[in-house]
Homo-oligomer: A and B are copies of this chain.
Amino acid sequence: MDLEGVRTFVAVAEAGQFQAAADDLGISQQAVSKRVATLERTLGVSLLVRSGRGTQPSVDGQAFLPHARELIRVAARAVGSVRPGRRALRVDVLNRRTAPATALHAFHRSHPDVELDVVTLPDAHLDAAVAAVVGGSVDATFRAISVPGGEVPSPVRATRVIDDRHQLLVGPRHPLAGATGLRPADLAGHRIWMPGMQADTEWGAYYDELGRAFGLRIDTMGPSFGVEVLLDELAESAELATFVGEGTRYLWPEAYDLRRIPIVDPTPVYPHSIVWREDNAHPVLAAFLDHLMAHRRPPQGRTWEPAWAR
């Protein structure tokens, strides 16, 4: 089915005759006739009833017409989604499960009418993300600013907006499964598995420093086969454990019986900052920043974070 044919059908249905539609579309009446005939042939039904004085939609044409209009609307939105300039607010997140994605979801729920595009940059490094913000391919990105002092070069700005408190995720057979709270020191000697968090990534740097600070064995080795595999392994294992943020959205079958155990005294927090270009005039961006600041929950109790985040 050809979109031009659909547009032509709509034009004819609205104009009431082929010649007028042809004038609207800037083509000949014969071309309109051909396009409609082709569309009718591909659909296998007659869409228009031709009479001596103009044309009107047939029964099938009436049923098809609203779908045709919807198709054209969706096509226009699709084109608009990538048009430089006025397009949906495009926010980069490292991962669609972490706290920033949850915050985006919450913003979307409180502003149902705004258009959001949640994307993940192919190159996950901070400088590449900042370059993307400067270049305008994304309007904002969530990052842990791993630069001492948290300074970023103008015209880029960054603000801490989410402190994601860490929890330990273990299966029912794990020796710590019954704990209601754990101190980082309690984890010494236990193997904490965070596959895919290689040292050259933002997460890797965080867990590297966290491990060294409390003498933990955080194993970032091995390829990540996806979160489902990880959860499946956790459910079975009496040794494996992993860190998850309070704000992450993991779903697992009831039978897995996994437990989230808060970590306290101090609680490691993952410092999510929002990075944007200060001269970005996108109307939704300001609202989103306001939303983030309004929903910022300062961490309670004693917390820990890497030296480079302070």
Determine whether A179 belongs to the interface, using a CB cutoff of 8 Å to chain B. Answer: no
Contacting residues of chain A (197-256) with chain B, CB-CB under 8 angstroms: none
- From known contacts A3-B3, A74-B71, A74-B74, infer whether A121 and B82 are also in contact, taking CB-CB under 8 Å: no
Question: In the bound complex, how far is the Cα of B70 from the Cα of A291, in angstroms?
Answer: 28
Q: Pick from B59, B75, B87: contact of A71, CB below 8 A.
A: B75
- A282 to chain B minimum Cβ distance, whole angstroms, is 14
Chain B residues, Cβ within 8 Å of A64: 78, 81-82
Does B75 lie within 8 Å of A63, measured CB to CB?
A: no
Contact string, A46-67, partner B, CB cutoff 8 A, digits 1/0?
0101000000101110111001
**B contact residues around A82 at 8 Å (CB):** 43-45, 47, 60, 63-64
A77 within 8 A of B: yes
The verdict on A294 contacting chain B, using a C-beta distance below 8 Å, is no
Residue A84 at the chain B interface, CB threshold 8 Å: yes
Interface presence of A303 (CB below 8 A)? no
The answer to whether the Cβ of A146 comes within 8 Å of any Cβ in the partner chain is no
Contact residue among B1, B92, B121 (Cβ-Cβ distance under 8 Å from A75)? B1
| A67, closest chain B residue (CB) | B78
B1 touches A62 (CB 8 A): no
Complex: chain B residue closest to A135, CB-CB: B59
> Assuming the A-B contacts A3-B3, A45-B82, A56-B122, are A70 and B74 also in contact, with contact meaning beta carbons closer than 8 angstroms in the complex?
yes
Contacts of A63 in B (CB 8 A): 81-82, 87-88, 90, 117, 119
Nearest CB in chain B: distance from A276 CB, A: 15
> In the complex, what residues of B have CB within 8 A of residue A2's CB?
2-3
A99 in the interface (beta carbon within 8 A): no
Chain B positions within 8 Å of A45 at CB level = 82, 84
A33-B47 Cα distance, complex, nearest whole Å = 35
Instruction: Tell me whether A79 is interfacial, beta carbon within 8 Å.
Output: yes
> Can you show 17 pairs from A to B with CB atoms below 8 A apart?
A1-B75, A1-B78, A2-B2, A3-B3, A6-B78, A44-B82, A44-B83, A45-B82, A49-B122, A59-B92, A59-B119, A59-B138, A62-B117, A63-B117, A63-B119, A64-B78, A67-B77
Complex A-B, nearest 6 residue pairs according to Cβ-Cβ distance, in ascending order: A67-B78, A62-B119, A63-B117, A60-B82, A45-B82, A59-B137
